Amino acid sequence: MRRRSICCLMFALLLCFAAVRPSAAAEPADPIRIGAVLPFSGGVELYGQQAKLGLDLAAAEINAAGGILGRPVKLIYADDKTNPDAAADAMRLLVEKDGALAVVGPITSRNLNALVPLAESFKTPLLYATNYEGGKCSRYLFAFGAVPNQELGQLLPYMTQTFGNSYFQLGADRVWPHQMFDIAQPLIEQLGGKVVGTKYTLGTETDFSPIIKDVAASKAKVLLFALKGDGMDFIRQADDAGLLKDITVAFLGLSEVDLGIFRGKGQNMVAVVPAVAASEDPAVKAFVAKARAAARPGVAVSNYVMTHYNTLIALKAAAEKAGKLDKEAIIDAMAGLAIPSPTGPVTIGHDHHVAMSMFIAKTQGTDLVQVRALGAIAPQPGCKLADR
């Protein structure tokens, strides 16, 4: 009888321990998987690495603060190889195999064109944080980078007024330069200027002297420049040839990550950007210091870091506004949302493009320095979101 009483007591104690034992709900929650389709090879991998730095910073902050709705964020990266087919394959795997709640990326316009239809098919938010030519409005696309009125629309009046009204356009034979130049020409003409030449590179050039001669012969005062990757060797060669003494470069898409390529050449080139790493603004300085601490030694911090950081901050805010991790509810909550950023509020319009602060900057020494703060500029993406 005594033994039976002891057994009963032990059983009761076990039940008590079970009652106070942490429940399954208190165990670490399953992470929220967020995909990132970015170039880590193929010619523009510098920008993929900048995007990754921004995303990693945001994820670390979010997780340190308890995650999104109590669940940690897990980023899953895929290399799009700067190729639309590879980008599409990567997104399919991220959504179908990994169950990504959203996908961030890509960098190039060509890859964006490949991913938007997939985002619509999978009904998955695609968060794009690179400046682009506009014209893409979709329920499933959110653009966190600048569109032409925020970049060209600010750059061209400044260049015309400051340096002259004759332009030579030089870009890669790709989607983004073609469309940006098509937008630029009528804007230049409205400002009383003229495009005196346009040329596209094939991406195979190593000796740019024939192009340099064409630009010099045009007598243009401004070189509207839209080259990335190996094409930026043009800047060093043009500087060595003396071209940049007679013409000022208006550089589309310029960022701090590009400056190392120039090796001190190409001084006083002008750009319009959503952030300047050398800014004296305390919030920007704090963000840049945090990014540099997280990056490998010698890695630049550019506006690509900030715009990609903003994508996850917006996703968290939208999920918490919606109160659930549902793709459609998050999309509804994101439209009209205002989030804080290092350069000031970023507001997501109902066309899914963002109003944000923009800055005129120029190359000086080894830095990009601020020339003028333009304030918050609303986007004009050149499209409207269709009603559901």
pLDDT tens digits for range 13-72: 343 444 444 433 445 689 999 999 999 999 899 999 999 999 999 999 999 999 999 999
In percent, how much of the chain has pLDDT > 90? 87
Residue 39 confidence (pLDDT) = 98
Give the list of residues 6+ apart from residue 206 with CB closer than 8 angstroms, or none: 230, 233
Q: In the predicted model, is pLDDT for residue 383 greater than 70?
A: yes
Does 260 reside within a domain?
no
Does 1 reside within a domain?
no
Q: In the predicted model, is pLDDT for residue 102 greater than 60?
A: yes
Q: Are 52 and 129 in contact (CB under 8 A)?
A: no
Q: Are 62 and 21 in contact (CB under 8 A)?
A: no
**What is the rounded average pLDDT of the residues 320-347?**
97
Q: Are 358 and 274 in contact (CB under 8 A)?
A: yes
Same domain? For 156 and 134 the reply is no
Residue 17 confidence (pLDDT) = 40
Q: Chain centroid to CA 351: how far?
A: 18
Same domain? For 195 and 209 the reply is yes
Same domain? For 36 and 129 the reply is yes
**What is the rounded average pLDDT of the residues 311-321?**
98
Q: Specify the number of domains making up the chain.
A: 2
**What is the rounded average pLDDT of the residues 7-13?**
41
Residue 5 confidence (pLDDT) = 47
Q: In the predicted model, is pLDDT for residue 132 greater than 50?
A: yes
Which range of residues forms the domain containing residue 158? 152-252
Nearest residue to 163 (alpha-carbon basis) of 191, 129, 125, 198? 191
**What is the rounded average pLDDT of the residues 283-297?**
96
Which domain-ending residue is among 252, 287, 306?
252
For the chain, the residue count is 388
Q: In the predicted model, is pLDDT for residue 142 greater than 60?
A: yes
Q: In the predicted model, is pLDDT for residue 10 greater than 90?
A: no
Dist CA 318 CA 325 (whole Å): 9
pLDDT, tens digit, for every residue of 234-254? 999 999 999 999 999 999 999
Q: Are 362 and 383 in contact (CB under 8 A)?
A: no
Same domain? For 109 and 166 the reply is no
Residue 248 confidence (pLDDT) = 98
Same domain? For 106 and 157 the reply is no
Does 37 reside within a domain?
yes
Does 24 reside within a domain?
no
Whole-prediction pTM value? 0.91
Same domain? For 126 and 193 the reply is no
Q: Tell me the CA distances in angstroms from 128 to 1, 4, 113, one per residue in order.
A: 73, 68, 11
Same domain? For 94 and 166 the reply is no
Given the structure tokens 């602060």, which residue do they identify?
Answer: 357
- CA dihedral angle for residue 234, residue 240, residue 243, residue 244, rounded to 10 degrees: 80
Same domain? For 58 and 90 the reply is yes
DSSP labels, 110-177: HHHHHHHHHHHHHT--EEE-S--------TTEEE-S--TTTTHHHHHHHHHHHH-SEEEEEEESSHHH
Q: In the predicted model, is pLDDT for residue 111 greater than 90?
A: yes
Residue 188 confidence (pLDDT) = 98
Dist CA 86 CA 243 (whole Å): 39
Does 230 reside within a domain?
yes
**What is the rounded average pLDDT of the residues 274-279?**
97
Residue 387 confidence (pLDDT) = 66
- Across the chain, mean pLDDT equals 92
Nearest residue to 229 (alpha-carbon basis) of 112, 146, 107, 140? 107
Residue 386 confidence (pLDDT) = 78
Same domain? For 308 and 345 the reply is yes
For residue 230, what is the domain's CATH number? 3.40.50.2300
3-state DSSP assignment of residue 365: coil
Same domain? For 44 and 108 the reply is yes
**What is the rounded average pLDDT of the residues 360-381?**
96
Same domain? For 166 and 70 the reply is no
Q: In the predicted model, is pLDDT for residue 127 greater than 50?
A: yes
Does 133 reside within a domain?
yes
Residue 213 confidence (pLDDT) = 98
Does 8 reside within a domain?
no
Burial 307-318 (b: 16+ CB within 10 A, else e): bbbbbbbbbbbb
Does 301 reside within a domain?
yes
Residue 380 confidence (pLDDT) = 97
Residue 298 confidence (pLDDT) = 86
Same domain? For 137 and 229 the reply is no
Which domain-ending residue is among 252, 267, 293?
252
Q: Strand 338-339 relative to strand 346-348: parallel, antiparallel, unpaired?
A: antiparallel
Tell me which of 10-14, 239-243, 261-265, 348-352 is least confident. 10-14
3-state DSSP assignment of residue 179: helix
Q: In the predicted model, is pLDDT for residue 203 greater than 90?
A: no
